[in-house]
Amino acid sequence: MRTSITLHAAATVTALLVFSVIFHGQDDASAAGPPPVEWARAYGGTGQDQITAAVATPDGGIVGAGASSSADGSVRYNRGKLDGWVIKLAPSGDIEWTSSIGGSGDDEIHAIALTSDGGYVVSGHSNSADGDFAGLSFHSGGSGFIARLDSLGRPLWTGSYFNHAAWSIMSVLEMEGGGFVFAGATHPRFHEESSCGDGGPGKSTLWLARTSARGELVQSRCFTLPGDVVDYSLHLYPDGGAAVTYCVDIDEGDMETGVVVSRIPADAPTAWFYVLPGKASKAVRHITPVPGGGYLISGNTLRRYNPRQTARNEYPWLFKLSESGKLQWQVELNKGDGGRISSVVPAGSGFFAVGHSVNQKIPAKDGIPAFFDFMAMGFNSFGRQLWRRDIEGAGWDSARAAVAGAGGGLYAAGSTGSVDNNYAWHADGDPLGFYGMVMKITN
């Protein structure tokens, strides 16, 4: 199925942010085809803007969070370099409010959650020591932070924790009875300064910690992970427990990884480990619990174009474990354009997944895909693909967060570089011209 639509930027963004794209869907099980797109919009200003996390709000809209270097359009202000960026969208896609959090350094938000008083809590990485983070202590290479926001995204307090380099707080959640639980991992080369106590060279450290309602650290636990963790994802529980999945580099960068999933109770040692059998070339991106018990883990496989190349192609991949950590099914979508699943959530009787696919219409460079397309997919409860939609653009486009709306509708949030179909590049290969992007699908 292929239809052409025009994708318009939000009204508050400059007129340059209007561009045309093509949706195409793949229908595997339903004669009716993929569900319709209600709207798709770009948000941001004249800098670089991206949405990396999102949460559903009770009114049926969403709040997206990420980072921005803009100080115009739909970004209120910027204190220097990247600031954490939060944007509230109505169910119609209209902007209700935006907020920026940061200082003169680089500040990025990686997670957002609702709080019981109608506000929000966000977490991420910062190397600022001024602005909203004045008075906090950060490693010279940056450290993890938490910020408590009111119902309009304004900071109430901020906190930094553990002061480790290459440390980012990747997940945060309000606990039952108040306070917050948060988690993240440190890079192996900083394992010794993390003081976990059971370390050694070449190992990563997972931290699981709690704060009071005002952000004071009240408890921390650390877990030494086996080797160099190259990708990981966490799901936190209101009682302070967690489910975590990660990939360990077992061949020193030679594309072979060990995939591990574990359940950590609130106040007890790890309940179980699941290790995907055999050597694999896979990357995990997201873990989420599913109704009725169990966990869904998504990501992508990594495959060489030929045995002599180190370049790789990606294919969407997901598997389901039972509540006790037993493998129930595993699916690799190794046909078509390739891509990855960055986030997946339960939706109806199945699952809604988002990520990116490889744009085959733009020639690859040195055998490596040149650009990606924004992608959304529907699956039944056994992992069978029911439908798929891609937004074709001339830039680098990727969905990072899947959200099931409170009033119906499915949201895919991420970033796009296809706004004016003219992609500019830094000398080091990083793209210019990113904008936050959200698509809403009727379910």
- The confidence score (pLDDT) of residue 18 equals 30
Amino acid at 351: F
Q: What is the pLDDT of residues 124-154, one digit of tens each?
A: 988 888 899 888 877 666 788 999 999 999 9
pLDDT over 70 percentage in the chain: 75
- Confidence band of 279 (pLDDT split at 50, 70, 90): low
Q: Give the pLDDT of residue 129.
A: 84
Q: Are 406 and 419 in contact (CB under 8 A)?
A: no
CATH of 24-44+101-421, one of 2.120.10, 2.30.30, 1.10.3470, 2.60.120: 2.120.10
Max mean pLDDT range (71-75, 83-87, 303-307, 430-434): 83-87
Q: Of 15-24, 101-110, 426-435, where does the model show the most confidence? A: 101-110
Range of lowest pLDDT (35-44, 152-161, 299-308): 299-308
| pLDDT(161) > 90 | no
Strand duo 37-43 + 435-441: pairing: antiparallel
Residue pLDDT, tens place only, 76-100: 888 888 999 999 999 999 999 999 9
Domain boundaries, the chain: 24-44+101-421
- In angstroms, the Cα distances linking 103 to 77, 98, 158, 311, 326 are 11, 17, 12, 38, 45
Are the beta carbons of 138 and 144 closer than 8 angstroms?
no
Evaluate if residue 321 carries a pLDDT over 90: yes
pLDDT of residue 17: 35
pLDDT at 373 over 60: yes
Task: Tell me the pLDDT tens digit for each residue of 403-423.
Answer: 999 988 999 999 988 754 333
Question: Average pLDDT in the 262-271 region?
Answer: 89
In this predicted structure, the answer to whether residue 22 has a pLDDT above a threshold of 60 is: no
- What average pLDDT score do residues 288-303 get? 89
What is d(CA 49, CA 398) in angstroms, rounded to the nearest whole number? 13
In the predicted model, what is the mean pLDDT of residues 110-128? 95
Provide the β-strand partners of residue 168: 185
pLDDT number for residue 94: 96
Tokens coding 160? 């930094």
pLDDT band of 305, cuts 50, 70, 90: very low
Mean pLDDT value of segment 50-66 = 97
Q: Give the pLDDT score at 419.
A: 53
Mean pLDDT, the chain, whole residue set: 80
Q: Is the pLDDT of residue 241 over 80?
A: yes
CA 206 to CA 290: how far, in whole Å? 23
Comparing CA positions, the residue from 442, 440, 441 lying closest to residue 93 is: 440
User: pTM score, two decimals?
Assistant: 0.86
